Structure 1
Amino acid sequence: MPMIVKAEQTSAPRTYLDHILEHWHKDEDAEALVQGGYRLTRGEARRRLFALGHALRGQGLAPGDGVGLFLANRVDSVLVQLAVHLIGCRVVFLPPEPGPGELAALVEQSRARAVVTDPLFAERAADAAGRSVHAPTLLSLGPCAQPCTDLLALAAACPAERPDGVPAPAADEAVTVLYTGGTLGRPKLAAHSHRLYDTLVDLAEDAPCDSRPTVFPTMDPDTDRVLVSTLLTHGSGHLTSVQALVTGSALVVLPEFEAGAALAVLREERITATMFVPPMLYALLDHPECTAGALPALRRIVVGGAACSPSRMQQTVEVFGPVLSQGYGQSEALGIAAFGAEELASQAPRRPELWRSCGRAISDTEIEIRAEDSTAALPAGRVGEVCVRGETVMLGYYEDPERTAAALHDGWLRTGDLGYLDADGYLYLVDRAKDIIVTGSTSDNVYSRVLEDFLLTLPGVRNAAALGVPDEEYGEAVQVFLATAEDADVDPGAVGAAVTAELGELYTPRKTVLLDRLPTTKVGKVDKKALRAAWVG
């Protein structure tokens, strides 16, 4: 293990930031952060990080204070997040999808003393801060029309040396808070301790082996280049950036996802590893320039954030080779299970059902399948709620003991996902508990994941979503939405017949809606709320 240079030694335990800075003190002219023409070397990134830390401190922020980050995908967003942790403050990610009332409640409940906003979001940030009783300081990453202090201008006048006097975080101290939904005025904020980052460092540094599945292979700081294309203020983008930086890999930031632009960046920046949510991966595969051999440097694509179709996973391997890994987690437990590319490539040919699996429990994590209101584990093959215990599980919902008590029991998190384990410990998800469609004369369960996976095997279908809609006779009926290829002639009647033949009458859709594309959330998942609002009466 390389030694930290003397200027960086502290009496406190090493953090993930120390691992990043070890790399940024070596070979200072190597690229560290890239966004189009904006490129920072390791030395430049380190000095800019330190200056941002001093600038934040200059606004009266002290260790333990919360700092809301309402940011777009850009290099300075990565550095600001690191700077907040550098001075011992709590990162509060403010994603762009909440409405004004929810965003204001998020700022208030998180007790953010300051909010750092991208100029693009400044008007919304000012509105949210203005509604907060705590009246947080409003800072912007550059000049903007709102009454914000320009944090980058402040940093330009600050020292480029590491801020000192930062205490180590306590074991039960929340250092990162992620928005995970909720209701107007009462958002759910998953709070994580430094143990999450310790686990990420361990996973990044340990060579993959059969007993410790991992989505990223051992990274080479001299050659690996990682593209982050999902939102930096969501768990997937945050994990991708941290995993890249702790290994010393160059991190390339994609401001917005568009399949053609993503292909160009993957090719031109010689990207070796990246992460996509399923709709992003599907759009990439459907692009006319996405052909075998088009990305010779690419050796790992991680898919996660939502259920991925087995047929699309196989298509990915056919186009790019054995580069596909899968990860499963949620804001409450950012790492639960993983399926490494090598493991998938070696196992799936003789066990094709593994294409539907999201892998096995990662290091130091336990998974059990439990029935509702039960603490007893169900046997292999039985469907129940996925429960997990380990270092990546949240401390709880921030400032919300009632919902924390409902989700956590003796260290076990009830994920709200339904699935089963096979005899070898591979996890298979069948649905979100809230997405089950209960229908039929005997009120049986239709698992939307099972139906969507099948729909994606039909000719001309590029993406699919299934919803339960009100039905007078059965309570709910199945309705499906299909994004079809431009020249495809998809017959809704034939779709229904194919579903019935493969899955049975219970799964037969009452109605099939054909669309050019399915709406997606800011993080790239299919937006079922938008589908329901637009198409379900």
Structure 2
Amino acid sequence: MIADSQDPAAPRTYVDRILEHWYEDEGAEALVQGTQRLTRGEARRRLFGLGHALRGQGLEPGDGVGLFLANRVDSVLVQLAVHLIGCRVVFLPPEPGPGELAALVEQSRARAVVTDPVFARRAADAAGRSVHAPALLSLGPCEQECADLLSLAAECPTTRPDAVPTPGPDEAVTVLYTGGTLGRPKLAAHSHRLYEMLLEPVADDPEDSGTAFFPAMDPATDRVLTATLLTHGSGHLTSIQALVTGSALVVLPEFEAGAALAALRAERITATMFVPPMLYALLDHPECVPGVLPSLRRIVVGGAASSPSRLQQAVEVFGPVLSQGYGQSEALGIASFGAEELASEGARRPELWRSCGRAIAGTDIEIRDTDSAAALPVRGVGEVCVRGETVMLGYYEDPARTAEALHDGWLRTGDIGYLDADGYLYLVDRAKDIIVTGSTSDNVYSRVLEDFLLTLPGVRNAAALGVPDEEFGEAVQIFLATAAGADVVPAAVGAAVTAELGELYTPRKTVLLDELPTTKVGKVDKKALRAAWTGDAVGAP
């Protein structure tokens, strides 16, 4: 059924695909967060009300709307509403300080900022610093002087807002903060083609994984949990790919291993996505034992490098349900490794546990020399470069850095890796995480070191950094999150590293912690580690 005023001849967007499901079996669950449970009909009507309310603020197609939101059902709906009325979604991250957040609002040219009440004070400060003076809206009552978007929506019609023109192929419809732990953030702009790629495996062949995290889903039985931030690429893709298949979406407000395990079990979740530290925390929970999640059919792991030993542990606990995805804000889909393929091929070729899979459909991967940019042969280690429909248009309002990252349609990812003869991609480091040390100034790949450290008894998580060193320029320093009661001896760790990887990888200092700091996205925060522990910081030699 075509939703309300939508022109049947107009191109179908991903929002149209979601609405087609939400017009069928209106009593089926669509969105869940704790005790809040919206049926498809309720979700559709609330979405339309939000669209009218945003239009009522004077927003026109093409205008930017900053979303400074926590994980909640209404956050999913307001993001859909922004696209429904033809506006540009600008995801604002929770990590930055006031100055950086204000710069992101200003650079994105947001005409409005929708904030969660818990972020309202910071949002008001950021909006107040912008020369564009964006309107400030809150998803519920808050202490700041801003309109309550939910109250406004409750008074609006529940029919679909008037149709809007389809964005052009070079028009930014979604802008993502690049996030992470390295340097000043950027805003990666994507066109509607990204969402068309999401629809292709659903429309053409449900058995073809394409770019989908969760292919071949059954809307009658599948239930997807989103545990990563909805305003980050991983949470955004997880939620959209669940909804376009008609599956119920369960939103986890904040990740905590016990709460995640309870939600996975109580909601009979069949598919979810975790960044590696989340998966590790879940595996370390005392109630996480084989058979605990009988409904689970797919766990996608992505967003950061994964430990092969931890991936194998996950398969031992959950069964052959683990798949991997590799992407970044600049290219939301690059490579993937399906659960069935990983289980079968990984048993035959153990080295594949270190791979993040092969190029997704419509994407090319090339490894290039970091100095000359020449293409490298099989197993040559260099920078991962990609080309395809999931690659960004560029950095929004940032032509200089766009020119640095994009050349003739190819994106320089900043990741270092190699391809094997079968096209499987292996990542060895971020370019900026490589530690250059030793008398010959050789490369220490932090990913290689971290993977080995995670095989040691008592080590739950690990990070390696290069710290200033007068003799060699940089020295290796490692940080270990250890299990409760584990007797991890730094000298023994160093000896094990030397024996396995050689003297170049031997850590100068080992720091033992209960937990490693993580960003709001769930990745290990190396910037925080570097700031707190470099130089003469506390640690065991």
TM-score range, shorter chain: over 0.9
How do 1:70-89 and structure 2 match up within 5 A?
A: 70-89=68-87
Structure 1 contact 105–184 (Cα < 8 Å) conserved: no
Aligned counterpart, 2:336: 338
After superposition, residues 235-250 of structure 1 pair within 5 angstroms as 235-250=233-248
1:254-403 map, 5 Å: 254-403=252-401
CA contact (8 A) 1:105 1:185 kept: no
Count of residue correspondences: 535
Q: Are the counterparts in 2 of residues 466 and 480 from structure 1 also a CA contact under 8 Å? A: yes
Structure 1 contact 439–506 (Cα < 8 Å) conserved: yes
Q: Tell me what 1:191 maps to.
A: 189
Secondary structure class of the residue paired with 1:478: strand
Residues 279/205 of structure 1: CA separation in 2 closer, same or farther (3 Å cut): farther
List per-residue Cα deviations over 1:451-509 (Å, max 9, x = no partner): 00000000000000000000000000000000000010001011001100110100000
The sequence identity of aligned pairs, in percent, is 85
Which ranges in structure 1 are unaligned for 5 or more consecutive residues? none
Call closer, same or farther: CA 1:436–1:302 in 2, change over 3 Å: same
1:61 aligns with one of 41, 59, 62: 59
Does the Cα contact within 8 Å between 1:469 and 1:536 map onto a contact in 2? yes
Q: What is the deviation of 1:6?
A: 6.7
**Distance of 2:469 and 2:206 partners within structure 1:** 49
TM superposition shift of 1:7:
5.1
Measured against aligned partners, the alpha-carbon deviations of 1:394-435 in whole angstroms (never above 9, x if no partner) come to 000001111101100010000000000000000000000000
> Which one is further off, 164-173 or 286-295?
164-173
Structure 2 SS opposite 1:73: coil
- Residue 4 of structure 1 and its aligned partner are, at CA, apart by 3.7
* 2:98 alignment partner in structure 1: 100
**1:19-34 paired onto structure 2 within 5 Å:** 19-34=17-32
Give 1:504's aligned residue.
502
Secondary structure in 2 matching 1:53: helix
1:154 counterpart residue number? 152
1:348 match: secondary structure: helix
Within 2, Cα distance between the matches of 1:134 and 1:225? 41
Cα deviations by residue, 1:62-115 (Å, 9 ceiling, x for unpaired): 000000000000000000000000000000000100110000000000000000
Q: Is the 8 A contact 1:225 1:272 kept in 2?
A: yes
Q: Which runs of 5+ in 2 are unaligned?
A: 536-541
Q: 1:231: Cα distance to partner?
A: 0.4
Q: Residue 522 and residue 353 in structure 1: after superposition, are their counterparts in 2 closer, same or farther (change >3 A)?
A: same
Cα displacement (A) at 1:202: 1.4
Shift of 1:533: 1.1
Q: Which residue of 2 aligns with 1:168?
A: 166
Counterpart in the other structure of 2:538: none
Q: Distance in 2 between matches of 1:9 and 1:27?
A: 22
Residue 535 in structure 1 maps to residue 537 in structure 2 = no
Measured in 2, the distance between the counterparts of 1:339 and 1:459 equals: 28
What's the offset of the Cα at 1:188? 1.2
Alpha-carbon distance, 1:11 to partner: 3.1
- Is the Cα–Cα contact under 8 Å of residues 3 and 19 in structure 2 kept in the other structure? no
1:342-400 Cα shifts (integer Å, max 9, x gaps): 11011011100000000000010000000124443211100000000000000000011
Does the 8 Å contact 2:213/2:238 carry over to 1?
Answer: no
**Distance (Å, rounded) in 2 between the aligned partners of 1:139 and 1:211:** 38
Is 1:443 matched with 2:441?
yes
What letter corresponds to residue 23 of structure 1 in structure 2? H
TM-score w.r.t. the length of structure 2 is: 0.97
Indicate the larger mover: 370-379 or 3-12.
Answer: 3-12
Contact between 1:102 and 1:185, CA under 8 Å: does it hold in 2? no
Query: What residue is the counterpart of 2:520 in the other structure?
Result: 522
- Give the equivalent residue in structure 1 for 2:130: 132
Amino acid at match of 1:350: R
CA contact (8 A) 2:3 2:160 kept: no
Shift of 1:201: 1.2
Distance 1:504 1:388, change over 3 A: same
Alpha-carbon distance in 1 for matches of 2:111, 2:445: 43
Residue 93 of structure 1 aligns with an amino acid whose one-letter code is F
What SS does the corresponding residue of 1:326 show, helix, strand or coil? strand
Q: In 2, distance between residues paired with 1:202 and 1:136?
A: 36
Structure 2: distance between partners of 1:210 and 1:247: 14
